[in-house]
């Protein structure tokens, strides 16, 4: 039963993360602000993390394979949170525009991640199993990154562009993400199943909140454009 619940929540997380990748790509295509790149690519890494977690559920005890999957799951998740955090750090410092081919970069990220997985699984270097001992350290890093974002949003709820601020100012969604990571950290020490399931439920709720925020921001931006057109 636990396996089915985890797998279902994982599939939902992957689907929601990919939706957010697409939505944030749209924002970047409209604004072309370089600091916005951390959002779609951050959620792309989170989608990869959920994918590796799902594969790990299928092969939990296969020597080499399960360890490689766990490494990729942990690294992609932390990388995702790091990229999202960098978007906030750079939002008030770098405003230049750019024109990267996002599809090409995404394919490079996915292919590169698969290559790293294949390399780890093939070579199976000694000491890889340490990930099960230091997994909690990565979770603490994730909590620190999410805490920074929450504090950042609490102190500054608007950026120079009001449309962008509506889109990326999501303290509640990040707070739910934080609770999910905290729940997972609790599971690391207690091994209580409800804590593990709770961490995945929190991720799903957070992703849904991000999608809702996007559409609320889009709706408000459309209303503002209509009002400006009438005034003009």
Measured distance CA(145)–CA(178) in Å, rounded: 9
DSSP string for residues in 135-197: HHHHHHHHHHHHHHHHHHHHH----SSHHHHHHH--HHHHHHHHHHHHHHHHHHHH--HHHHH
- C-alpha pair distances (Å), 25 with each of 31, 119, 162: 10, 30, 18
User: To which H or E segment does residue 26 belong?
Assistant: helix 2-31
Backbone region of residue 127 per phi and psi (left: phi > 0; alpha: psi in -120 to 50; beta: other values): left
| Per-residue pLDDT, 160 | 47
Model confidence band, residue 229 (pLDDT cutoffs 50, 70, 90): low
**Those residues with Cβ within 8 angstroms of residue 167's Cβ, 6 or more apart along the chain or in another chain:** 27, 213, 214, 217
Distance of CA 63 to the CA centre of its chain: 28
Write the pLDDT tens digit of every residue in 6-48: 989 999 999 999 999 999 888 888 777 776 788 899 999 999 9
Measured distance CA(36)–CA(85) in Å, rounded: 11
Write the pLDDT tens digit of every residue in 51-105: 999 888 887 767 778 889 999 999 999 999 999 999 888 876 666 667 777 788 8
**Those residues with Cβ within 8 angstroms of residue 106's Cβ, 6 or more apart along the chain or in another chain:** 21, 41, 44
Residue 33's SS3 state is strand
User: Domain containing 182 — which CATH number?
Assistant: 1.20.1070
CB 171 within 8 A of CB 150: yes
- C-alpha pair distances (Å), 36 with each of 26, 122, 200: 11, 36, 26
| Per-residue pLDDT, 82 | 95
Range of the domain at 178: 2-231
Closest-CA residue to 3 (of 48, 77, 42, 61): 61
Q: What is the mean pLDDT of residues 104-109?
A: 89
How many structural domains compose the chain?
1
């Amino acid at each position: 039963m636990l396996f089915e619940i985890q797998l279902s929540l994982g599939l939902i997380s992957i689907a929601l993360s990919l939706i957010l990748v697409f939505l944030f790509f749209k924002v970047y295509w409209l604004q072309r602000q370089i600091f916005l790149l951390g959002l779609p690519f951050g959620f792309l890494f989170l989608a990869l993390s959920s994918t590796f977690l799902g594969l790990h559920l299928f092969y939990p005890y296969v020597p080499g394979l399960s360890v490689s999957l766990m490494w990729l799951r942990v690294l992609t998740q932390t990388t995702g949170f790091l990229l999202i955090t960098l978007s906030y750090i750079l939002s008030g410092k770098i405003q230049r525009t750019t024109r990267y081919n996002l599809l090409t970069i995404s394919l490079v990220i996915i292919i590169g991640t698969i290559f790293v997985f294949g390399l780890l699984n093939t070579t199976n270097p000694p000491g890889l199993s340490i990930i099960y001992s230091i997994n909690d350290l990565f979770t603490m890093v994730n909590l620190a990154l999410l805490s920074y974002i929450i504090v950042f949003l609490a102190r500054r709820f608007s950026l120079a562009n009001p449309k962008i601020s509506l889109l990326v100012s999501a303290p509640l969604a990040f707070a739910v993400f934080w609770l999910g990571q905290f729940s997972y950290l609790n599971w690391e020490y207690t091994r209580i199943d409800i804590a593990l399931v709770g961490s995945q439920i929190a991720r799903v709720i957070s992703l849904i909140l991000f999608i809702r925020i996007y559409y609320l921001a889009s709706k408000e931006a459309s209303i503002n454009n209509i009002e400006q057109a009438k005034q003009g």
